[in-house]
A and B are shown apart, each in its own frame.
Chain A
Amino acid sequence: MKDLEKILSELEGKIKTIEKESDLNNLRVEYLGKKGCITALSSKIGELPPEERKTFGASLNETKNKATELIDAKKKELDGKALSEKLTREDIDVTLPALKVPVGAPNILENIIEEVEDVFMSMGYDVVDGPEIEEDRYNFELLNIPKGHPARDAQDTFYIEDETILLRSQTSPVQARTMLAAGGNTPIRMICPGKTYRRDADDATHSHQFMQIEGLLVDKDISLSDLKGTFDVIAKRLFGDDVETRFRPSYYQFTEPSVETDISCFVCKGKGCSLCKNTGWITVSGAGMVHPNVLRDCGYDPKVWSGFAFGFGAERLAMLKYGINDIRTFYQTDLRESSTFDRKDV
């Protein structure tokens, strides 16, 4: 029995000095292998008197288990050490630059248009498209702007064929087309963002090509107050819940009454600043009740139907919202600038 205790304490001492897994394996063979010193003792059982055999056997087993435990524990310790050394070797500098995941940015105008589309679609407006080379009939005549009308001069249109074919000077022809296609007997809710063209020399505030976001609602018993409520929704969604709105009388050939729609200045909160030219208000769109002549000419009986139309300048909205002061920004894609818009807005 004394021998067994001695063997164990000797093993314990040896384990303490071991640093390599191979040495531990050798030690395992030395003690627990087929010819190991502990294994060898079991052959001695037969040499003992029968009354001692049982207790010796039990002690031997216990010793075997303890030795195995000691070696296994050391194994675990060595494994842990090896792993932690490996992890240390694999340490990286997490501050080094990442892979540039290629994701593109939207055009700024498309960005703002989608935002407006989203608000109007949530209110049931369809998004409709129309031709940019347009007939005079849709661009002017059906919109209560007959030949010779002074409103035509102001728009300074690019004509392609004398008085018949033109680059559309407004997106309103899409409204006329939509009404005509609807056949005069179904309600309409639509917006038609798109490119328009006028003979303006390009500079920081003028562009011969620009984008309008016009919309139209035709139904029964529609009022100017409904237009005001609708404008409130879009103004707050685009410029914040705390903006106030106001209507001012205005004039457009295809609406009557016509209004200019203002929002309270979101920079100075109405106190007066350079953005609002000290008025506290910023004009963001033109709108009005669809002129009865337009309704009639586009197939809707003005005695039965009424509606409103509105138009935003996409450039103006974007300039206001993002603080851009040169309209050419939208048409010259500077990639150093556009990446700003590859993100979700608040």
Chain B
Amino acid sequence: MISLNWVKDYVDIESEDLKELAVKITKAGVNVEAVMTSHIDHLVIGKVISCVNHPDSDHLHLCSVDVGEKVVQIVCGASNVREGIKVIVALPGCILPGEVEIKAGKIRGQESNGMICALFELGVEEKTEETYAKGIEEVHSSLKPGDDANIYLGTDDTVYELDVHKHRNNDCYYHIGFAYEIASILNKKVTLPDASYQEIKDNIKDYMHLKVDTPKCPYYTCKMVRDVVIKESPEFIKKRLIAAGMRPINNVVDISNYVMLEYGQPLHFFDKDKLGDNILVRDAKEKEEIITLDGQKRILKSSDIVITDGKKPVCIAGVMGGENTDVDLNTKNILIESAIFDAVSIRYTASNLNLKSEASIRYGKGLNFEYTDAALNRACHLLEKYADAKILSGVIKHDKVDKKEKVVTFETKEINTLLGITLTDDDVKVELARLDFPYVEKKGVFKVTIPRRRLDIDPNINDIAEEIGRLYGYHNLVSTLPLVPTRRGVYVGDVKIRKTISRRLRTLGLNETKNYTLTSSEAASHFRYENKEAVVLPNPMSLDKSVVRTSTLPSLIGVYEYNKARQVENILLYEIAKTYDKDYQEDTKVGILMKGNYLENAWQGIHVKCDFYCIKGIIENLLDYLGFKNRYTFEKATIPDLHPGMSAIIKVDKEMLGVIGRVHPSYQKDEIYVAEISMTKLYQKQVKPIKFKASSKYPEIKKDVAFAVKKNVEAETLIQQIRKSGGKLLSEIEIFDVYVGENVSEDEKSIAFSLTFKDPTRTLSDEEVTEVFEKIIREVEEKVPAKLRNK
């Protein structure tokens, strides 16, 4: 929160429209989120010149009121209105709180050109019987008729609420820093506040001894003051603190806050008499205790910094003071601390203790040592002026701060190249002057010293370019395209196969899902077919997002359940996602889930149900599409959470790539089929390019045969034997019937094959086909073993 009345002390913005200024500031990079004002337009001081009774009313008055430029007639009903008093007048056009617009008009036949106001009508007081009875406000002040009544009411300030990017939140969150920002935008100069004061002869060094025993406090300095008188703060300090969002307490506390809001430097006031003669700044001891001034007992860690009186802690450095040395209403003598502590350490302490104070927030952002001294002197000035303090001469100081200046050397053309603009050396000089960045320029080479208040700027050309660019205005940039060679970009690495698989699965009717990588340990306990150990987060946000999944299948079950609950009947899903194991081995998985009908048209009676062979078809189609035809097999296996009779592992080139099967009925009652394969493993395999193969010109011969085999014999066994026995002439094997029942023994099944014979180079004779066919029958019967059924 920035009070613009306050900023006016440091930079001239008298003639600025504060709403427009907010837009300019935002354009230059500091985001003014809201412009807040309680200012009421058309509200002036008036003087009642005459006051007579309204001819047609027993309580209204006709008043002639001097409102500066002219005298107007106003009808007023207040009992306390009378000749000679000064009042607040809302002129026509004035909009009072509650959207009440004042208009010129007639009241019971008499002209009225405004309204004489009570405080409750101006939103300054609540409307109560008491405030109503007070009547209109009688103004006792030196203000003259026509003057802005907001000055009298204290509603003349405008406050900016800032949303400042991290890097600017140390210089734009205090009024002097913000004044510099405004000055650079408006091309004006900043005037710093008065920090002068008288010193008495006594020297602080005779009363205080300072030792700093930690590298985390590079700068520590104190002044001492005597005989302060604790009382209420002057109006302007109170008003400004309130505008900036702080509550006034008393002059001493308020001055410490006031200076912090001016310079961004938090100060700490110790009651010197409670403190004693020593200050020792050191690292806290593990489990050391202190009661902070909010009355809470705090237990410290060795990474915290404490201020001690040589023995016990009196303050958690940069975070909060101790109760034992707190300034109270009886305090007479004060030791003012102005210091710099290690920002990271303060942030860590504040977050450990869960104690974010105004001070810790500022220390946590880092501070400028020049302002550490300036703020100390400014506090002395204000204490002398508003708390009758006597200031001892001298300071105690520990100074190990790095004072190396940040200097950037550059030429204008470097700035131009980076921004794509065309500034001249003179333009750059103007911009640097606006920024108030000291520089020397020799033969087009600029050497700029970054002011210490700009902790955010690193000494490099980009940072300078940004400062110049944002004042130059990004809206003035011309759009160009990089001068680079024309080419089309490509999908690098496995991105391409991921896209290919994704598109194919969609073509095959599956819907793409995207699920959370983090899952619950319950979900992660399912489908652990690889037996991989999962990464478990050490500090999860919640238990349902605590494990990094090793499989997509539990997530797909989640999507299935979500859709089932919404009465979706046909659920066809896939997901392609990275999974990880405990050793952070990445494995991109393709997961598929199918439930319900794959193909349907109800009125026609078409219902192609999702079953094992349907999902197997999806996998085979995908693998064929990717070029793995005839390189994969499905081998029956027992797999966690899959139906033991309807599940298999999928192998490509004899390497296991995934699983397929029906979800175990004890896990999901519904008939759900899932499959998952490792895209990472698939991607590592080589695929041959497409080659054209002409179809045979010679006729083919088809022959059917059926075998009865034991029920546990797999079709694949028969196929392999048939292929082996059929040799070169056998070109295709198709299963057209699987039969169990009459005419087949109870422990057997019958499988019928249609075999196609052909030779691409000639017409086959019946005799040679019959010869091969009989060989097949003979060998299958003998080797599988199987029984030939009636042809």
Contact = CB atoms under 8 A, between A and B. Distances in A.
Interface stretch (B190-198, B395-403, B503-511, B764-772): B503-511
Given A225-B480, A249-B466, A251-B168, A292 B507 contact: no
Given A104-B512, A251-B167, A223 B462 contact: no
A106 B512 contact: yes
Given A127-B491, A167-B517, A257 B347 contact: no
Interface string B384-395: 000000000000
A101 B711 CA distance: 36
Given A160-B537, A209-B517, A124 B512 contact: no
Interface in B448-505: 458, 460-463, 465-466, 469-470, 474-475, 477-495, 498-499, 502, 505
B671 interface: no
Nearest to B421: A225
A129 interface: yes
A338 B514 CA distance: 12
B374 to A, nearest CB: 24
Interface stretch (A9-17, A23-31, A53-61, A148-156): A148-156
Contact of B600 (A100, A232, A330, A339): A100
B599 interface: yes
Interface stretch (B148-156, B280-288, B375-383, B573-581): B573-581
Contact of A99 (B494, B507, B540, B604): B604
A132 B517 contact: yes
A269 to B, nearest CB: 18
Interface residues of B, number: 94
A107 B512 contact: yes
B668 interface: no
Contacts of B509: 102-104
A232 B481 CA distance: 10
A13 B490 CA distance: 82
B495 A127 contact: yes
Contacts of B512: 104-107, 110, 338
A289 B474 CA distance: 13
B508 A128 contact: no
Contacts of B515: 331, 333
A289 B465 CA distance: 10
Interface string B153-166: 00000000000011
B489 A259 contact: no
Interface in A104-127: 104-107, 109-110, 114, 120-127
A158 interface: yes
Given A160-B535, A229-B479, A335-B511, A256 B419 contact: no
A120 B603 contact: no
Contact of A247 (B347, B475, B568): B475
Given A104-B574, A292-B462, A124 B599 contact: no
Contact of B495 (A100, A128, A131, A232): A128
A97 interface: yes
A224 B421 CA distance: 9
B488 A195 contact: no
Contacts of A306: 417-418
Contacts of B505: 104
Interface string A132-146: 110000000000000
Interface string A176-217: 000000000001011100010101010000001100000001
A316 to B, nearest CB: 16
Nearest to A257: B466
A338 B510 CA distance: 11
B364 interface: yes
A291 B514 contact: no
A170 interface: no
A219 B482 CA distance: 9
A121 B508 contact: no
Contacts of B26: 248
18 contacts: A100-B599, A104-B507, A104-B508, A104-B510, A114-B499, A127-B492, A128-B493, A129-B495, A190-B489, A201-B541, A208-B541, A224-B420, A225-B419, A228-B477, A247-B477, A306-B418, A333-B559, A336-B566
Given A106-B512, A191-B489, 8 more contacts: A104-B512, A107-B514, A154-B166, A158-B540, A223-B419, A247-B477, A257-B469, A306-B417
